[in-house]
Chain A
Amino acid sequence: MKHATPLIDQLETGPWPSFVSDMKHQAEKRAKNEENIEFQIPQDVVEDLLGILELSFNDGTTHWKHGGIVGVFGYGGGVIGRYCDQPGNFPGVAHFHTMRVAQPGGKFYTSKYLKEICDLWDLRGSGITNMHGSTGDIIFLGTTTPQLEEIFFELTHNMNQDLGGSGSNLRTPADCIGQARCEYACYDTQALCYDLTQEYQDELHRPAFPYKFKFKFDGCPNGCVASIARADMSFIGTWKDDIKVDQEAVAAYVGGEFAPNAGAHSGRDWGAFDIQKEVVALCPSECIKYEDGKLAINNRECVRCMHCINVMPRALRIGDERGLSILAGAKAPILDGAQMGSLVVPFVKAEEPYDEIKEIVEGIWDWWMEEGKNRERLGELMKRQGLQKLLEVLNIKPDARHVQEPRSNPYIFWKEDEVEGGWERDIDEYRKHHQR
């Protein structure tokens, strides 16, 4: 190895997969180059990457400089410029740009596709990736400026594959596994995610928004892609009718034939399954009864938290009148503190061609692009102008579902047209009856 790395070497031990061992192996493989690849970026790139990481472990600071404007022609996103601040000592990573490659829905792959990705990235980049980045993309970690167009050309021409989003645009949407392999999914997350991704390619590649904008698609209220915490628009599957109950299977849970929660608690002896304590008593809206060996759900009072279904997946199933709820405005703390998504649309069907959903998306964008300040996330605009403003621009009738509780201050910003007679009054007329 080109650089001694005594600190990060200590991350090779222990049971969890060591990224240091992996990168060292990659560095050696590149050095040997048994396949005679005509590397298009420095052969020792991974050695220099390990070296600069060791330096950071030593001095407790990063050695990557600010971005720098690089990209592919016609796009404003998908590439993040990166340069190291010690190019003399680590020339292999002097230019070390990131490319975001849009991931397929559900993150399903064939080995054929992944090997094509590897071939391309071994030739034209560092061979180091993230599988996957936080937003969901396949991340190519480290290449030089002249390779960007070449990689883009090969991706689009040979692999039918596009880049993902970065900057003030629509970021690459992400979904949960959904109906592909989950009995809880209330809509086809992959289908909706793909449809909106294709529909809004322009918004994804060409930054025209005040700031970043994320879509995430959760098939049910369990929220496995964390859309409620992470997405400007969060699409969470739900249903309107009754949970389907198989009483025989309920009896099998009560009788101990089926393990509760699909066996998720088998690492400890929690005692015999107690349906009263574990299901009935934990229902947040107290809408479940278990009497005379029968489970009864008052579905009108159900808030669809998923607990009973999670505990007894073989006995209880989501209803048939399915769709999704749309929440808006979630974001991480920068700048004004973290925000959770707020309910905007309680229920909408998720059926192709998804016109109703697209109308809401576009209504939100129109408002945000008109009113949002530079680097203001949707959630911050919602805080600044109020939830009722968003409901107004979307022409959604406010109802009690939109709030946790009504306001506890009476400072209502009445509009003039809501007040009988308007606000224009005659002071002289007033004074006729009220002395100064």
Chain B
Amino acid sequence: MAFISSGYDPKEPMKNRVTDIGPRKYDEFYPPVIAKNKGKWLYHEILEPGILVHVAESGDEVYTIRCGGARLMSTSLIREICEIAEKHCDGYLRFTTRNNIEFMVDDKGKVDALKKDLSARKFAGGSYKFPIGGTGAGITNIVHTQGWIHCHTPATDASGTVKATMDEVFSDFQNMRLPAPLRISMACCLNMCGAVHCSDIAILGYHRKPPMLDHEWLDKLCEIPLAIAACPTGAIKPAKIEVKGQEVKSVAVKNERCMFCGNCYTMCPSMPLSDKEGDGIVLMAGGKVSNRISMPKFSKVVVGFLPNNTPRWPEMTDAIKKMVEAYAADARKYERLGEWAERIGWERFFEKCELEFTHHLIDDFRDPAYYTWRQSSQFKF
């Protein structure tokens, strides 16, 4: 492969350099019906799972077909999305915050052909390329992080856990039988690039073994004071260690103070944590970001640990399925999972979801912990 120059001259990097131009402006990409009616929409309706109509003051309508998609996506698939958009939507499309793909048409007459086209497209392995759904009181696509495909700190895989989960709850992607929307999110470590801490159900990768110490290299690769300062529990201190008869500067870790956040590893590559048996999944539940009815809520830890049982994490999908079914059967219309759990009481939540409550679920991390203990004689037997 011969090197092809873009025109960039490494000897004169500043020559004709263009910088600080930002993203393309949003309105370059609006379909005409959006450009015309922006700010003048009257109402919308979900005609069937995955299909919405928005009606404008002008009487114009835009029909949206929402499809799930893996956010890890090849250019081949993006080109196919473009081909569909060109065939049905004058070349326009959009993505949602939750990695769905939306195709929009300005006429009801164009919906059926588009729907048929999307539903017929499948990957070689048999899965849908563009499953239609993800609207209303159901389960929409999972927002997630990189995992083993591209990250240096994950405690599990992201795309794999998401695929396994969405296969399991797929009927709820294409149905709207739940009491309210149920948002699942996934983050492959505590950094939570996906910010799963306010989701109805959160899948979180978690380490359980303190960092290993590569003493021979630690002082060469890391700033020891930064590694020490990185620890939120003060578990790391400087240490002099003998390696191959030579005294080297390194660190020591007080293992019982480690909460496995991996922040030290972020600052110092000589302190890796990941481990086949140590790493796995924490499940959290009951969070939300919407201000609707009740205020936004954090998700709570409801399963302390599940193993990375690849390729499909059956223990994880089983626990998720139990929560979804218990919620579907028991919650009131409009009630989010967290609102339901609070109404029936968390002691009932564990009972109804058939999840075991263990000591790991009692908060013992700093001040806020106290406020989560039961300071009342009110509880249910």
Contacts and interface: CB of A to CB of B under 8 A. Distances in A.
B154 A334 contact: no
Contacts of A11: 160, 163-164, 311-312
Given A21-B125, A263-B47, A337-B368, A181 B148 contact: no
Given A14-B170, A313-B44, A229 B195 contact: yes
Nearest to A83: B152
Contacts of A22: 70, 72-74, 76-77, 123
A144 B20 CA distance: 23
B164 A181 contact: no
A336 interface: yes
A229 B198 contact: yes
A111 interface: yes
B131 A16 contact: yes
A197 B25 CA distance: 11
B23 A12 contact: no
Interface stretch (A59-67, A351-359, A386-394, A417-425): A59-67
A222 B149 contact: no
B75 A121 contact: yes
A288 B147 CA distance: 47
A401 interface: no
A108 to B, nearest CB: 4
A225 interface: yes
Closest 10 CB pairs of A and B: A12-B125, A264-B136, A105-B26, A14-B167, A332-B192, A60-B276, A111-B82, A21-B123, A267-B176, A267-B177
A190 B26 contact: yes
A15 B71 contact: no
A223 interface: yes
A4 interface: no
Interface string B172-184: 0101111001000
A336 B366 contact: yes
B120 interface: no
B123 A26 contact: no
A6 B233 CA distance: 41
B327 interface: no
Contacts of B135: 264
B261 A106 contact: no
A141 interface: yes
Contacts of B92: 108-111
Given A66-B269, A134-B195, A229-B195, A107 B70 contact: no
A28 B74 CA distance: 12
B370 interface: no
Given A117-B78, A183-B44, A225-B97, A112 B25 contact: no
A153 B232 contact: no
B149 A61 contact: no
Interface in B331-367: 333-334, 365-366
Interface residues of A, number: 153
A80 B163 CA distance: 25
B78 A229 contact: no
Contact of B310 (A7, A226, A336): A7
B1 A39 contact: yes
> Would you call the interface of chain B mostly helix, strand, loop, or mixed?
loop
B250 interface: no
A25 to B, nearest CB: 6
A153 B70 contact: no
B94 to A, nearest CB: 5
Contacts of A268: 176-177
A220 B14 CA distance: 43
Interface in A193-252: 193-194, 197-198, 201-202, 204-205, 221-230, 236
Interface in A326-343: 332-338, 340
A222 B28 CA distance: 27
B293 interface: yes
Nearest to B164: A11
B19 A230 contact: no
Interface in B1-36: 1-8, 10, 13-14, 16-31, 34
A179 B43 contact: no
28 contacts: A13-B125, A13-B127, A15-B131, A17-B130, A18-B163, A57-B157, A104-B28, A108-B29, A110-B92, A111-B81, A115-B79, A117-B75, A127-B74, A129-B78, A156-B18, A157-B7, A179-B41, A181-B38, A205-B20, A221-B292, A222-B291, A262-B43, A263-B45, A264-B46, A270-B333, A278-B333, A305-B292, A333-B197
A416 B310 CA distance: 62
Interface stretch (B61-69, B109-117, B236-244, B373-381): B61-69
Contacts of B30: 108, 180
Interface size class of B (residues with CB under 8 A): 35 or more
Contacts of A254: none
A57 B310 contact: yes
Given A162-B23, A198-B22, A129 B6 contact: no
A143 interface: no
Contacts of B249: none
Interface string A154-166: 1011011110100
B76 A131 contact: no
Nearest to B77: A22
Given A18-B70, A114-B93, 13 more contacts: A12-B127, A16-B128, A20-B125, A29-B76, A60-B275, A104-B26, A111-B81, A132-B71, A146-B3, A176-B97, A263-B47, A267-B137, A282-B334
A190 B94 CA distance: 14
B298 A340 contact: yes
Contact of B4 (A26, A38, A204, A236): A38
B34 A332 contact: no
A9 B127 CA distance: 12
Contact of A180 (B34, B229, B230, B294): B34
Given A21-B123, A21-B127, A265 B176 contact: yes
A103 B23 contact: yes
Contact of A110 (B73, B91, B97): B91
A99 interface: no
A308 to B, nearest CB: 10
Contacts of A340: 198, 296, 298
A307 B290 CA distance: 10
Contact of A130 (B71, B175, B192): B71
A161 B20 CA distance: 9
Contacts of B201: none
Nearest to A107: B95
Interface in B155-205: 157, 159-160, 163-164, 166-167, 170, 173, 175-178, 181, 187, 190-198
A350 interface: no
A223 B8 CA distance: 42
A368 interface: no
A115 B83 CA distance: 10
A106 B26 contact: yes
Contacts of B128: 15-17
B97 A174 contact: yes
A295 interface: no
B319 to A, nearest CB: 18
Contact of B68 (A17, A24, A307, A338): A17
A150 B74 contact: no
A114 B152 contact: no
